[in-house]
Structure formats: C-alpha cells, structure tokens
C-alpha cells in the first residue's frame, strides 16, 4: 500500500522548539509501517516552529519575512531530527520542498511525481514540506493539510493519514466542549459538516479541523481513503493499518480519478469560468461530451488558452473544470457560434472544442 502520512507542527514542536522525543516516537511508528511492506511518504510541518526557537522568537511571526527566516532556520533542524530518528530504525529519508507552482505545470508535476516514486523504489521515506523560504501567496499551498492531499493525489496514494493532536473530527471542539462526540465515518463532506469543523485554529500549525476537512475532500475526490487519528498515541498507525478502527475515516465514493484528471481538478488553480447553457451542461454531464462554442453563454475572469477554468451553469454552480483551448477574449468572440464559424471569426482555429473532454473533469456534488 502507498501511504501519505501528514504530521502537524503541534505533534512535534512545543513552545520550546522541536521535541526530539516526539519525532523519535513518530519515526518509530512510521518505520514499523514501512517495514510492514508499505511505501510511505511523510508530509511534515514544524520548520517555522523549530526556527522560532533558533531565532529566539516567542510568538509565531506574522509577517512573511520573519516567517520565511524562521522556516529556513528551522527546516534543517527538522530534517536533522528526522535523519537521526529514522536511521535508528535503519530507514533512509530524503527532503523534498515544494511550492504550489509545482502543480501548475504538467511537466513539473510529472517531474515531482517521478522523483518521489524513484525515492520510494529505493525504499526511501521522502519527507515533504512546503518550501516556505520562497513561497509567497501566489505559490503557497496555504497549509500542510492541503499540501498533503495534493501529494497524495500526485503519488496515487491509497491512503492519506493525517496525524492530529486530537482523536479525529468531532461534532464540536473537544478542547472546549465536554459533550463533543467523535465522528467515526464520513462518506460525504456536507456544508453542515464543514460548519461543524469550524475554525479550530492552533497556535503552532496553520490548519485546524476545517482545513483538514478541505484536505480530506480533495483526497476523496482523487478516490483516496483519508484517516484523521491521534498522532500522540504510540502504535495507533500500525493498528489502523491492520484494520482496527480509530479516529475519523473518510471513505471516497468509488472510482479513483486518473492522476491527470486529478491534476486538473485539484492541482491547478482556476483562472476564471465559462458559463454554459443547459444543453451544453447536459451534454458534458450526461454524455461525456466536449465543450463547444455554441453552448457558451459568457465568461468571467481573464484567462489564456491552456488555463484551467470552471464550467458553471446559468445559476453560477460549478459542475466541471477543464483546460481551455481558447482565451477569455477569444471565447467572447466565438461564444454561441458553430464550430465551423470559429476560423471565420478569429482568423484561425486551434481546435473545434473550447474544452476537449479528455481535459474536462466533472466535479462531484
Ligand atoms: N510549512 C510550515 C512549517 O513547516 C507549516 C505549515 C502548516 O503547518 O500547515 O512550519
């Protein structure tokens, strides 16, 4: 089985900086899972928390420069701690730092994927973090929960396991409410559930339960099972993989999306949208057809050919996402027209389809 394990800052860092004891405990558990014959990719936060200690900062910096300085100072300490712990169990690790733009471009996406798969073929445990030092808003994942879900899609993982400092997803914040109840299984991430997950932020990490839910939703979209379990309890990982139930399990509804379609749906950032009429919507959803100019009502946003855009219905509901062959300016000229008229209007034609069905992904829900 191929597993992505996400470790949050709260699990391995305290106000005192990195906890080597905690890193060692987790490395021991992960090594065991690896020795069971699984391929394991770790996504670990903790660089900023570790760097804060090194730079003598008492609270998490808010401005980007100090955050990046802390991340740079902390990342080497983080890897050093993992190196030491994993080597005790005879495991080799490798560092991979990614920014969101690794997912924007098909070649870079494939490259990142191949590097990770090659490391796995050598029995190495890749340890991935965001490349905080260079990541500005435009190329940020936001938080490591999102990074972990995209990585899970990237490597075609069978499982994404998010280690948290609580037992799983609760009906309320368990740290504040005694009557909070653990939600054991989730098949559908409904708006109510998103509300439930609330905004339970934490001081060291970036993502709370809400961001874990969004990450789970993405991974489920790739057809990957997601577990949120308590990373503070030794041995839980192994027991989970042996079939015992812990924490919250998110079960995707069937089909696994191809890595290419997953990349379009979740990896790429949308640059705008195309509003289509009911006929085109039906043709795409029910018959798996391409999007042609005749079914287009209008566009929103400024996008170029090759960009990812949403297809939305007349009510504004997104139902598909794809790579457009024409820019928003071009589409504004050819919308509502027959395919045979494209060349007459533009003076050239890239293709009959505005979005070819091979580059079009239906969005769930
Ligand atoms: N990449 C950040 C770090 O290593 C953490 C981001 C997160 O926790 O989501 O400190």
pLDDT at 200: 47
Cα 339 to averaged position of ligand 1 atoms, centre (Å): 48
pLDDT at 259: 76
Query: At 281, which CATH number?
Result: 2.30.130.10
Does residue 13 sit in the same domain as residue 79?
Answer: yes
Give dist(CA 143, CA 100) in Å, integer: 11
For residue 39, give both structure tokens: 């391929």
Give dist(CA 243, CA 346) in Å, integer: 59
Does residue 286 sit in the same domain as residue 257?
Answer: no
The tens-digit pLDDT sequence of the chain (365 residues) is 999 999 999 899 987 889 999 999 999 999 999 999 999 999 999 999 999 989 998 888 888 899 899 999 999 999 999 999 999 999 999 999 999 888 888 788 889 999 999 999 999 999 999 998 887 777 677 789 999 999 999 999 999 999 998 899 888 777 778 888 899 999 988 887 877 776 444 434 455 788 888 899 889 988 899 999 999 999 999 999 999 999 999 998 866 777 788 889 888 889 999 999 999 999 999 999 999 999 999 999 999 999 999 999 999 999 999 999 999 999 999 999 999 999 999 999 999 999 999 899 998 65
Q: Closest ligand 1 atom, CA of 142?
A: 9
Does residue 247 sit in the same domain as residue 151?
Answer: yes
Q: Closest ligand 1 atom, CA of 70?
A: 10
Cα 143 to averaged position of ligand 1 atoms, centre (Å): 6
Does residue 250 sit in the same domain as residue 145?
Answer: yes
Residues within 6 Å of ligand 1 by CB = 8-9, 45-49, 71, 129-130, 132, 143-144, 205-207
Q: Domain count of the chain?
A: 2
Q: Which of 220, 244, 262 is the last residue of a domain?
A: 262
pLDDT at 202: 42
Does residue 332 sit in the same domain as residue 230?
Answer: no
Does residue 198 sit in the same domain as residue 275?
Answer: no
pLDDT at 154: 92
For residue 306, give both structure tokens: 């090759």
Q: Which of 238, 262, 286 is the last residue of a domain?
A: 262
Does residue 237 sit in the same domain as residue 311?
Answer: no
243 Cβ neighbours under 8 A, 6+ residues apart: none
Does residue 197 sit in the same domain as residue 326?
Answer: no
Query: At 226, which CATH number?
Result: 3.40.1160.10
Host domain of residue 284: 270-362
Q: What pTM does this model have? A: 0.84
Does residue 293 sit in the same domain as residue 349?
Answer: yes
Q: Which of 262, 283, 317 is the last residue of a domain?
A: 262
Give dist(CA 28, CA 24) in Å, integer: 6
Does residue 165 sit in the same domain as residue 198?
Answer: yes
């Amino acid at each position: 089985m191929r597993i992505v394990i996400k470790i949050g800052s709260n699990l391995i860092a305290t106000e005192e900086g990195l906890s080597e004891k905690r890193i060692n405990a987790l490395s021991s558990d992960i090594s065991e899972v690896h020795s069971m014959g699984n391929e394991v990719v770790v996504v670990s936060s903790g660089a900023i928390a570790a760097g804060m200690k090194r730079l003598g900062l008492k609270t998490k910096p808010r401005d980007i420069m100090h955050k990046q300085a802390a991340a740079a100072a902390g990342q080497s300490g983080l890897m050093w701690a993992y190196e030491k712990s994993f080597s005790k169990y005879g495991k080799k690790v490798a560092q991979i730092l990614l920014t969101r733009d690794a997912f924007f471009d098909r070649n870079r996406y494939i490259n990142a994927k191949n590097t990770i798969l090659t490391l796995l073929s050598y029995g190495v445990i890749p340890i991935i973090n965001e490349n905080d030092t260079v990541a500005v808003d435009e190329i940020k994942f936001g938080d490591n929960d999102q990074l972990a879900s995209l990585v899970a899609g990237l490597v075609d993982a069978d499982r994404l396991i998010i280690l948290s400092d609580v037992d799983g997803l609760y009906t309320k914040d368990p740290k504040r409410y005694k009557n909070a109840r653990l939600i054991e299984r989730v098949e559908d991430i409904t708006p109510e559930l998103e509300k439930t997950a609330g905004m339970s932020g934490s001081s060291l990490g970036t993502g709370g339960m809400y961001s874990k839910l969004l990450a789970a939703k993405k991974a489920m979209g790739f057809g990957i099972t997601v577990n949120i379990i308590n990373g503070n309890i030794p041995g839980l990982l192994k027991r989970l993989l042996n079939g015992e139930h812990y924490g919250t399990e998110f079960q995707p509804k069937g089909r696994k999306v191809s890595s290419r379609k997953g990349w379009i749906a979740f990896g790429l950032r949308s640059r705008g949208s195309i509003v289509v009429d009911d006929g085109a919507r039906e043709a795409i959803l029910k018959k798996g057809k391409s999007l042609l100019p005749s079914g287009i009502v209008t566009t929103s946003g400024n996008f170029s050919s090759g960009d990812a855009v949403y297809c939305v219905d007349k009510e504004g509901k997104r139902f598909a996402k794809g790579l457009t062959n024409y820019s928003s300016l071009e589409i504004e000229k050819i919308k509502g027209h027959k395919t045979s008229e494209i060349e007459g209007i533009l003076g050239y034609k890239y293709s009959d389809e505005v979005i070819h069905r091979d580059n079009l992904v239906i969005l769930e829900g």
